[in-house]
A and B are shown apart, each in its own frame.
Chain A
Amino acid sequence: MAAPQFEVPKLTGYAETPAVKEGASAHIKSFPASESVQAAIGFPGGLVEDWHDKAIAKMGDLLNRYRSLRVFMDACVHCGACTDKCHYFLGTGDPKNMPVARQDLMRQVYRRHFTFAGKYFPALVGAKDLTEDLLQEWYTYYYQCSECRRCSVFCPYGIDTAEVTMAGREILDTVGIGQKYTNEIMGKLHKIGNNLGLPGPALANTLEGLEEDILDATGAPVKLPIDVKGAEILLVTPSADFFSEPHVESLVGYAKVFHATGASWTLSSKASEAGNFGMFIGSYENMRRAALRIREAALELGVKRIVVGECGHAWRVAYSFWNTLTGVGAGGADPFSIELQKQLDSRYPAPQHICEYTYDLIQQGKLNFDKSLNDHRVITFHDSCNVARGARMSDMPGGQFVIPREVIKAVANNFHDMAEETIGESTFCCGGGGGILSDDLMEIRVKGALPRMEAFNNVVQEHKVNFLALICAICKAQFTKVVPYYGFDMSMVGGVHQLVSTAILLVDERENENQE
């Protein structure tokens, strides 16, 4: 870890709301996207000539397409309930990171151009013209929001800043201002099929290597099949699971679970990415295009069931949006969604989360664990924002909080939750979600992680917790990078299925051979 160019917040043992410090994070800006990056996802590169009129027109278009935006622009009363809820405000003190102020960056333009009061009495209601400076401010602060929706839990009208941020990014993209990190990844996903840009053969190679590693470690011939036609289950997982640490440990965990019950499953090179950054930039079209790859792969492979790996925003897209976008789930009317529904097991017409899958098997007593294998770990669980507030597991509201914890408790003995107000629906974002997981945003990532690090530090002190269990590829990457700034070791970060992987008992076929 290089010496930081900024002051890392100190952990004090209790969560404090900082005093307002204007402009505290105004200098933190991610690299803009080049023209070719923008073109690959259907946007102009570089500020277009008639940007003002185009931006206002786009805002009008979005106001007509999204009820959320239309209602949220009007309904805010500036009550202040959200002002101390955003991790980026708590970490920086920059008032423009208060959800209401972030929304107001757009609301002031909305009022100027789309409301009576703003047209005729702009000063009275804080209405402003859209200037190039303001547009740059949008770029700064709409890329200091991780779209985690924590503010929406606490807003008396349910105003969701994520919807405003998404609209802001879509307008920025439309006039040629895109973010390099997110948009480049989006382009790779369209072109190659995953965020890392891994071609099929490289992927197959990696998987083979992993199979050998697992065999060496356990003696069990655990397979990581890819592009197997006629397999029962298609596993769609974030591509980070193939290459990054600690992500890959969870991939090994999923494979062991499938192996333990003899499930027929496959990965797909076409759908080698669960992530869908189209959501981050509020682009329905890009999000849909990415989701269609998965439907296409499911149809080609003829699978009966789709399971999604550990990835927060991917699970939100899969659970909440796939059915809308591509008709995966009940009710799709176009020929391909009808065909897919016929093909899928009627018990599982909608995608399932890997934690739901594993939990079901645990409930049925089909998996065997030696929990003591995890005894060197004292575990806590971080609810990922998109799973916590944008999706669900099981038939029960709140199942997304229960199931991962039950899986952990089934495979390990030492578990302690962090403080109530920092988990469940009130969970803090890791600080790197929503398109912020870029090195050029390291300062905001570190500062945004402060509330989570405070809560984590408290259980480390109190219960000697040494493992932060996650179900999100972005959380894993973010925390691995960021916990060292707060004095923790990056090996404390890992996946829920990494814990499953450690404790699961598989038949060592080498022993069988020896006995024969």
Chain B
Amino acid sequence: MSLTVLYAIVFYAATAILIGGLAYKISSYARTPAPLKIPTTPAPTTMGGVVLRMAREVALFESLFKSNKWIWLLGWLFHVSLLLVALRHLRYFTEPVWFWVVWAQPFGMYAGFAMVAGLGGLWARRFLVDRVRYISTPSDHLILALLIGIGMTGLGMKFVAHTDVVAVKAFFLGLMVFDLQPLPADPVLLLHLSLVALLMTIFPISKLLHAPGIFFSPTRNQADNPRERRHLSPWAAKLETGSKAE
């Protein structure tokens, strides 16, 4: 089996696991009722307010900012950098490349360094802060190692030993239309891609579920309006037998 076929299979499988797993998880969150009104107050009283609260939480990490400036700084740096890096990578999946992806290229390039720096800081906390050391499991360390590995191999290809990005792009564009194109046998590239596939695979079965999870967190996504509206879950409604005291 050629390298190209192997990586094609790996990426099809990883994509299927990522999408299928996330769909399963998200639907389980959506199907599970939230029987009581439990927004952490003070909370917005309208759905519009909730959307704003959630937007601040997702884009700025508002609660984390209140909590701990170091974790906020390192965590936000990592996530924003990852976003820029990911946007930059869209050029390997689009032809012609969208103008704003072109525009984002230099930002995405240097964001790679910021991403690794943020991850390094977060990892350092797992050793240096006794409370964080206590709660860290092997998987907490390994996920950081995985992300740093992805970042370092990516930076290596950009700044140390270039890989044949034209061929890489042809491979991924081909994958998307089930037309296999040869993947360059560059070891750094292969490592980079393997780690990315691994990240995609573990996404739906690991703490990376915090990404979809936050949108379903009742303390953040509920409006504080119990005076105006009755909130009743299906299972709780079944308890209502219609007698005065029951």
Q: Are B45 and A67 in contact (CB under 8 A)?
A: no
- Tell me the minimal C-beta distance from A332 to chain B in angstroms: 6
Q: Are B40 and A158 in contact (CB under 8 A)?
A: yes
Interface string of A53-87 (1 = CB under 8 A from B): 00000000001111110111011111111111100
Interface string of A382-425 (1 = CB under 8 A from B): 00000011111001011011000000000000000000000001
Residue of B nearest to A98 (CB): B131
- Residue B231 contacts which of A104, A289, A323, A398 (CB distance < 8 angstroms)? A323
Interface residues on A, range: 35 or more
CB-CB under 8 A for A20 and B64, given A157-B217, A158-B219, A334-B242: no
- Tell me the minimal C-beta distance from A356 to chain B in angstroms: 11
- Residue A390 contacts which of B41, B139, B220, B236 (CB distance < 8 angstroms)? B41
Besides the known contacts A80-B68, A156-B61, 19 further A-B residue pairs in the complex with CB atoms under 8 A apart: A22-B134, A65-B32, A68-B219, A78-B207, A84-B131, A95-B134, A116-B205, A117-B202, A125-B139, A154-B63, A156-B75, A158-B40, A158-B218, A160-B219, A293-B245, A331-B229, A388-B41, A397-B45, A426-B66
Q: How far is the CA of A348 from the CA of B34 in the complex (A)?
A: 26
Residue of A nearest to B132 (CB): A80
Tell me, yes or no, whether B25 is within 8 Å of chain A by CB.
yes
CB-CB under 8 A for A158 and B214, given A80-B71, A126-B139, A324-B35: yes
Interface string of B1-28 (1 = CB under 8 A from A): 0000000000000000000000001001
Chain B: residues with Cβ within 8 Å of the partner, total of: 70
Q: How far is the CA of A101 from the CA of B189 in the complex (A)?
A: 39
Tell me, yes or no, whether A329 is within 8 Å of chain B by CB.
yes
Residue of A nearest to B241 (CB): A334
Tell me, yes or no, whether A456 is within 8 Å of chain B by CB.
no
Interface string of B229-240 (1 = CB under 8 A from A): 111110110011
Tell me, yes or no, whether A327 is within 8 Å of chain B by CB.
yes
Interface of chain A, helix or strand or loop or mixed?
helix
- Tell me the minimal C-beta distance from B205 to chain A in angstroms: 5
Tell me, yes or no, whether A453 is within 8 Å of chain B by CB.
no
Contacts of A330 in B (CB 8 A): 227-230
Residue of A nearest to B57 (CB): A156
Interface string of A116-159 (1 = CB under 8 A from B): 11000001111000000000000000000000010011111111
Tell me, yes or no, whether A246 is within 8 Å of chain B by CB.
no
Tell me, yes or no, whether A100 is within 8 Å of chain B by CB.
yes
Tell me, yes or no, whether B138 is within 8 Å of chain A by CB.
yes
Q: Are A71 and B239 in contact (CB under 8 A)?
A: no
Q: Are B205 and A83 in contact (CB under 8 A)?
A: no
Q: How far is the CA of A68 from the CA of B29 in the complex (A)?
A: 9
Q: Are B40 and A66 in contact (CB under 8 A)?
A: no
- Tell me the minimal C-beta distance from B87 to chain A in angstroms: 22
Among A82, A158, A160: residue with most chain B CB under 10 A? A158
